[in-house]
Structure 1
């Protein structure tokens, strides 16, 4: 039986909790209606499917999600990946496009549920922050570019890449529709005012917190109302060929397996896995951020299950793949959602919208929806601190840049995997070349880098601290670096390797250590070890390394090694773990 966190959340549920959920659910739905329709179009689907995806999926997440405030539904990044994946197959008709979308959502749901069953919730930690930043920043540019045809009223180039879109834009501007451009400009001004001026207005009016949140986030609603009125009053859809949504069905989707086609799954497997990965990463990061504000935690494996069930329900209602929405989740949290019941309330409000309000959307210009998408994704571009990242960690900056340009040039699917591959390569590169510091004794008795502090050293002895565990990937580098350093000192008699940062050694490391012993002895240098951890000593007990080490010694600490080697005593060998 599937775990249902909502049951636990409802224990002690009170009237005040319901009021909070009711208000938060209504406010979130208020924001969701225009946004989900815009994201449906971004995915290449009719706008009403954005509304459909906010019905059963929201209820499913309310049942199985571990986050009190996460809102699942259409998301800009996922919608872009859906459009990209389906575009590669090039369906011949809108019906075929819809069928592929449904099968893609089904696969995403099954992959997420399989990851939950395998307890792969910690998988998110394997994707570095720079990779996610580079991917989302490039994706935001691709999404914005994909909406230019809507906001400028120019012909849509199906399947055009980001580079193609940008390179063709100067020539396309001459054929833009002035009425569409003016509508788009009006929408951008209203959306900008919603972000900049409405919060000021709410503050001056001393509105209650919930009303202030609703007003602050209502820019898209005002843009939709204004655009619809302008088109309807002047019949711009017929006189100026302004593209509008048109008739939206006021009926509800039905549960059906009819569109499931297993023959498509092989071709959709890789993009489905990519979408499932990004769905989980964006959702868990949003849910964790909101939960941490109230000193709570989300269960990563439970989230995988909830997202899987949510996407399966979306597929069964003929819709598309979904993820946690950053903007709507923030609104839900800020509006005071107490439990997942707020999602149920949002679903009910969307239901009312579908049944009774869809005729009002007939004259809604598609340019306004394009402007809403563009304004929604611009905050995803986070390249302003690239110089600081480069100074702090060049490897992270390289991962970000590789992911960013790979996504722009190769597309969203290959872009994320290129970033992950780059991140892994750089990780292996760092692990294969660990830091080795030459140290001496500082005034406080601790051993520190000789290049950073004024420390005490011995004229015939070198102390080297290896800042990494030793295994097959790095032993050759470590062995070579040690021999190069020893070759620089003519009067060297002793070498002390400090193992304070070594937590693991494998068979290759032991073989390397034995070679090092032989080479150093041939050079007239005695090898000593210090600060050997208990877990490493446990492994060394199964070897004869201590015998081969003689006359070298194994010291508890580097301080003890310096004391003994300074005095010239070399017969005392320590035993036991450090």
Structure 2
């Protein structure tokens, strides 16, 4: 395989010019201003020292720029993955301890190895097991759980727990101990950030600024909140009055170091690392594909796996924790005009300069401001209306989405997503175990065949045409046998049964055994089985067995050819229609064709 396949940077690097560099630089400036407070906040959300958020925003961005295929995806710490990190590590070690930090780096290492291995083995399809309703329910529940979990920092009280059943009672019990100075800082920060998110851009436009300039300045709202909060805390010495602040942050770039290499701990963290990898990959690919489509570009899932894998490996060796592509940050990167992954490289340089020069200034940054930053960011992820829309369209998918949402809120992150995935798979097996099967007839004057219960069609008393609208495999093989026996029992004149396979994409070994059983039963009843409209891959499968030689019937290229051969009088319209002549029912009364 060509080296350029695994190094997309070679493609855009050859065409890189000053114009692209200028646009990437401007986008990087805006994303850096957005990423600094988010990195600090999401590290705190993960139960880690805030500086680790900055560490996780340097080398990982460089690695993704080399191996990732999206031109505008912005990687780094994100809320959902930070929550999953905390959920995996909180039961094992005290938050912020040396053991906790080492385990977070090990979790990043495992995630990086898993993603990289999936890339080389082309296992990106595993992420397909996370259906859109499950992912939507998971993200909405995570947003609610994160927001409520951050209230402890706004009230200045201590709580712990990984579900609402654990967090809410502790919050209620801790309310009498609310620290009022902390609460005031948190409420004002929350109000400002919420207003800036919705209203600051229009307000700046009314002052005469262009839409782009106003939008870029509005993105710096969290930075202004941080600056004002630091000034107020320093001026009034609120840290001495009990307001919790970030404290001393190491100055300088992170030293390269090995994460904790503990085999027993690695095995214990492996399930969490796999979930983090899959969720992070799904989120990144969804965002990357959406943004790429706007510019008629495309991304390669294998490259995304490798890009995210190397980014997490970089985080593991540079004092970081698991990261992935962020939705809001990537949209900002795109809107700011980023042309290539060099925007990520410039962002990493900006974060590196901040770590070297600005960290002493962050000593008096209140935890309440970071909590407000998290709350405003994650509430934009909550979409409870999606549950109503999904349920209206498909109650089964709605049930999986609701189960995921309630599982995350009431049990925990890992359990919630496993419940959603498990229920989705069970509902899929249940749906496909009873496939839709329709007796079809010829539409007069055409070669088309439609359901006899929905259209005025022509049938032959000696030929029964049955359309199967599902692949045939082990969950529905027995149902196929029972349904055909039932149809034959009610039609004593039938001498031929044609199984219309236009909707069949697979016939597995169990279904093949059932077809052989059906052939034996039909022959005992004096009926011959035939197949029509068999797809090429399915036909290739059947040729690898002895079924085609032994079943005694024919395989027709179309249902019309089958009826023309077995009952030519029907195709010539000499048979009186079984149903009264009428046009097809109105569309409002038809569920499917």
Q: Does the CA contact (< 8 Å) of 1:61 and 1:309 recur in 2?
A: yes
* Residue of structure 2 equivalent to 1:184: 186
Q: Does the CA contact (< 8 Å) of 2:49 and 2:96 recur in 1?
A: no
* Residue of structure 1 equivalent to 2:36: 33
Q: Does the CA contact (< 8 Å) of 1:213 and 1:335 recur in 2?
A: no
Instruction: List per-residue Cα deviations over 1:476-526 (Å, max 9, x = no partner).
Output: 111111222333446555533222223443444343233323333444545
* Residue of structure 1 equivalent to 2:17: 14
C-alpha separation between the residues in 1 aligned to 2:538 and 2:85? 50
Do residues 234 (structure 1) and 236 (structure 2) align?
yes
C-alpha separation between the residues in 2 aligned to 1:308 and 1:506? 35
C-alpha separation between the residues in 2 aligned to 1:67 and 1:539? 38
C-alpha separation between the residues in 1 aligned to 2:40 and 2:164? 23
State which drifts further: 186-195 or 346-355. 346-355
C-alpha separation between the residues in 1 aligned to 2:118 and 2:171? 42
C-alpha separation between the residues in 1 aligned to 2:184 and 2:232? 11
C-alpha displacement of 1:208 = 4.3
* Residue of structure 1 equivalent to 2:521: 519
Q: Does the CA contact (< 8 Å) of 2:463 and 2:567 recur in 1?
A: no
Q: Does the CA contact (< 8 Å) of 1:213 and 1:334 recur in 2?
A: no
C-alpha separation between the residues in 2 aligned to 1:567 and 1:306? 61
Instruction: List per-residue Cα deviations over 1:513-555 (Å, max 9, x = no partner).
Output: 3332333344454544333445555565653656654xx6654
Relative to structure 1, the CA distance from residue 460 to residue 276 in structure 2 (aligned partners, 3 Å threshold; closer, same or farther) is same
Relative to structure 1, the CA distance from residue 35 to residue 432 in structure 2 (aligned partners, 3 Å threshold; closer, same or farther) is same
Instruction: List per-residue Cα deviations over 1:3-30 (Å, max 9, x = no partner).
Output: 4332332213221111111111111001
C-alpha separation between the residues in 1 aligned to 2:23 and 2:296? 19
C-alpha separation between the residues in 1 aligned to 2:269 and 2:8? 32
State which drifts further: 489-498 or 350-359. 489-498
TM-score normalised according to structure 1 size: 0.90
State which drifts further: 531-540 or 27-36. 531-540
Q: Does the CA contact (< 8 Å) of 1:154 and 1:176 recur in 2?
A: yes
* Residue of structure 2 equivalent to 1:573: none
* Residue of structure 1 equivalent to 2:501: 499
SS in 2 for 1:197: helix
Relative to structure 1, the CA distance from residue 440 to residue 56 in structure 2 (aligned partners, 3 Å threshold; closer, same or farther) is same
* Residue of structure 2 equivalent to 1:412: 413
State which drifts further: 144-153 or 398-407. 398-407
Q: Does the CA contact (< 8 Å) of 2:152 and 2:171 recur in 1?
A: no
C-alpha separation between the residues in 2 aligned to 1:134 and 1:189? 27
* Residue of structure 2 equivalent to 1:138: 141
Q: Does the CA contact (< 8 Å) of 1:505 and 1:536 recur in 2?
A: yes
* Residue of structure 2 equivalent to 1:371: 372
SS in 2 for 1:380: coil
Do residues 114 (structure 1) and 117 (structure 2) align?
yes
Q: Does the CA contact (< 8 Å) of 1:138 and 1:405 recur in 2?
A: yes
C-alpha separation between the residues in 1 aligned to 2:235 and 2:105? 37
* Residue of structure 1 equivalent to 2:100: 97
Q: Does the CA contact (< 8 Å) of 1:209 and 1:335 recur in 2?
A: no
C-alpha separation between the residues in 1 aligned to 2:557 and 2:8? 51
Aligned pairs (5 A) from 1:416-431: 416-431=417-432
SS in 1 for 2:91: helix
* Residue of structure 1 equivalent to 2:573: none
Q: Does the CA contact (< 8 Å) of 1:102 and 1:260 recur in 2?
A: no
Do residues 124 (structure 1) and 120 (structure 2) align?
no
Instruction: List per-residue Cα deviations over 1:192-242 (Å, max 9, x = no partner).
Output: 111211121243345345423322322212322332233233322223x22
TM-score normalised according to structure 2 size: 0.88
C-alpha displacement of 1:113 = 1.6
Relative to structure 1, the CA distance from residue 234 to residue 93 in structure 2 (aligned partners, 3 Å threshold; closer, same or farther) is closer
State which drifts further: 514-523 or 113-122. 514-523
C-alpha separation between the residues in 1 aligned to 2:87 and 2:23? 39
* Residue of structure 2 equivalent to 1:448: 450
SS in 2 for 1:313: helix
Q: Does the CA contact (< 8 Å) of 1:23 and 1:335 recur in 2?
A: yes
Q: Does the CA contact (< 8 Å) of 1:528 and 1:554 recur in 2?
A: yes
User: Of the candidates 215, 225, 228, which is equivalent to residue 227 of structure 2?
Assistant: 225
Q: Does the CA contact (< 8 Å) of 1:245 and 1:361 recur in 2?
A: yes
SS in 2 for 1:83: helix
C-alpha separation between the residues in 2 aligned to 1:196 and 1:142? 23
* Residue of structure 1 equivalent to 2:475: 473
* Residue of structure 2 equivalent to 1:572: none
Aligned length: 566
C-alpha separation between the residues in 1 aligned to 2:300 and 2:280? 15
Relative to structure 1, the CA distance from residue 565 to residue 302 in structure 2 (aligned partners, 3 Å threshold; closer, same or farther) is closer
User: Of the candidates 147, 155, 168, which is equivalent to residue 150 of structure 2?
Assistant: 147
C-alpha separation between the residues in 2 aligned to 1:413 and 1:258? 23
C-alpha displacement of 1:459 = 4.8
* Residue of structure 2 equivalent to 1:400: 401
* Residue of structure 1 equivalent to 2:72: 69
Relative to structure 1, the CA distance from residue 554 to residue 220 in structure 2 (aligned partners, 3 Å threshold; closer, same or farther) is same
C-alpha separation between the residues in 2 aligned to 1:306 and 1:537? 39
Q: Does the CA contact (< 8 Å) of 1:435 and 1:468 recur in 2?
A: yes
* Residue of structure 1 equivalent to 2:581: none
Instruction: List per-residue Cα deviations over 1:446-477 (Å, max 9, x = no partner).
Output: 11122322323345553210112333332211
C-alpha separation between the residues in 1 aligned to 2:408 and 2:164? 9
Q: Which runs of 5+ in 2 are unaligned?
A: 571-593
C-alpha separation between the residues in 2 aligned to 1:338 and 1:361? 32
Relative to structure 1, the CA distance from residue 261 to residue 66 in structure 2 (aligned partners, 3 Å threshold; closer, same or farther) is same
